[in-house]
Amino acid sequence: MTEEQIVEAHPEEGDYGLDRSVLQQVLEAVETRDAARLAAILEPLHGADIADLLEQVDDDTRLEIVRLYGREFDGEILSELDEGIREEVIGALQPDVLNDAVRELETDDVVDLVEDLDDAQRTAILDALEAGDRVAVEKSLTYPEGTAGRLMQREMVVAPEHWTVGQAIDDLRARDDLPEQFYHVILVDPRMRPTGYVTLGRLMSSPRSTPLAEITEDSFRKIPVMQDVADVAYAFNQYHLITAPVVDEDDRLIGVITIDDAMAILDEEHEEDILRLAGVGDESAISDGVVETTRYRVPWLAVNLVTAILASLVIAQFEDTISGYVALAVLMPIVASMGGNAGTQALTVAVRALATRDLTAANLWRVIRREVLVGLLNGVTFAVVMGLIGWLWFGAPLLGAVIAAAMIINLVVAGLAGVGVPVLLEKAGVDPALASGAFVTTVTDVVGFFAFLGLASAVLL
Same domain as 182, residue 116: no
Cα(226)–Cα(208) distance, integer angstroms: 37
What is the mean pLDDT of the segment spanning 311-327? 84
Count the Cβ atoms, other than its own, within 10 Å of residue 236.
23
pLDDT band, very low/low/confident/very high, at 186 (cuts 50, 70, 90): very high
* CATH code: domain of residue 302: 1.10.357.20
Res 109: pLDDT? 84
Q: Has residue 348 got a pLDDT over 60?
A: yes
Question: Percent of the chain scored above 90 by pLDDT?
Answer: 30
Res 2: pLDDT? 45
* CATH code: domain of residue 16: 1.25.60.10
Same domain as 121, residue 177: no
Contact 7, 44 (CB under 8 A): yes
Res 222: pLDDT? 96
Same domain as 450, residue 302: yes
Res 285: pLDDT? 58
pLDDT single digits (tens) 380-394: 998 898 888 888 888
Contact 41, 6 (CB under 8 A): yes
Domain for residue 152, yes or no? no
Strands 253-258 and 243-247: antiparallel
Q: Which helix (H) or strand (E) holds 195?
A: strand 194-199
pLDDT single digits (tens) 200-217: 999 999 999 999 999 999
Q: Which of 115, 142, 169 is the last residue of a domain?
A: 142
What is the mean pLDDT of the segment spanning 11-17? 55
What phi, psi does 147 have (nearest 5°)?
A: -115, 165
Domain for residue 151, yes or no? no
Amino acid in the structure at residue 336: A
Q: Has residue 288 got a pLDDT over 70?
A: no
Q: How many residues does the chain have?
A: 461
pLDDT band, very low/low/confident/very high, at 193 (cuts 50, 70, 90): very high
| Structural domain boundaries enclosing 183 | 158-274
What is the mean pLDDT of the segment spanning 31-37? 90
pLDDT band, very low/low/confident/very high, at 171 (cuts 50, 70, 90): very high
Domain for residue 446, yes or no? yes
Count the Cβ atoms, other than its own, within 10 Å of residue 388.
13
Same domain as 453, residue 353: yes
Q: Which residues pair with 188 in a beta bridge?
A: 160, 194
Same domain as 71, residue 20: yes
Cα(160)–Cα(174) distance, integer angstroms: 16
Res 286: pLDDT? 59
Q: Which helix (H) or strand (E) holds 136?
A: helix 131-141
pLDDT single digits (tens) 63-99: 999 888 887 788 888 888 887 788 888 888 888 888 8
Number of domains in the chain: 3
Same domain as 295, residue 265: no
Q: Which segment of 24-33, 237-246, 300-309 scores lowest on mean pLDDT?
A: 300-309
Count the Cβ atoms, other than its own, within 10 Å of residue 71.
12
Q: Which of 239, 274, 309 is the last residue of a domain?
A: 274
Same domain as 343, residue 300: yes
Res 149: pLDDT? 93
Cα(30)–Cα(458) distance, integer angstroms: 72
- Cα 249–Cα 255–Cα 256 angle in degrees, nearest 5: 120
Contact 188, 210 (CB under 8 A): no
What phi, psi does 245 have (nearest 5°)?
A: -70, 145
Q: Has residue 7 got a pLDDT over 60?
A: no
Domain for residue 304, yes or no? yes
Domain for residue 147, yes or no? no
Phi-psi region of 396 (alpha: psi -120 to 50; beta: other; left: phi over 0): beta
Half-sphere exposure of 288 (CA within 13 A, CB side): 15
Cα(196)–Cα(212) distance, integer angstroms: 9
Angle between helices 327-355 and 364-394 (to 10 degrees): 160
Phi-psi region of 70 (alpha: psi -120 to 50; beta: other; left: phi over 0): left
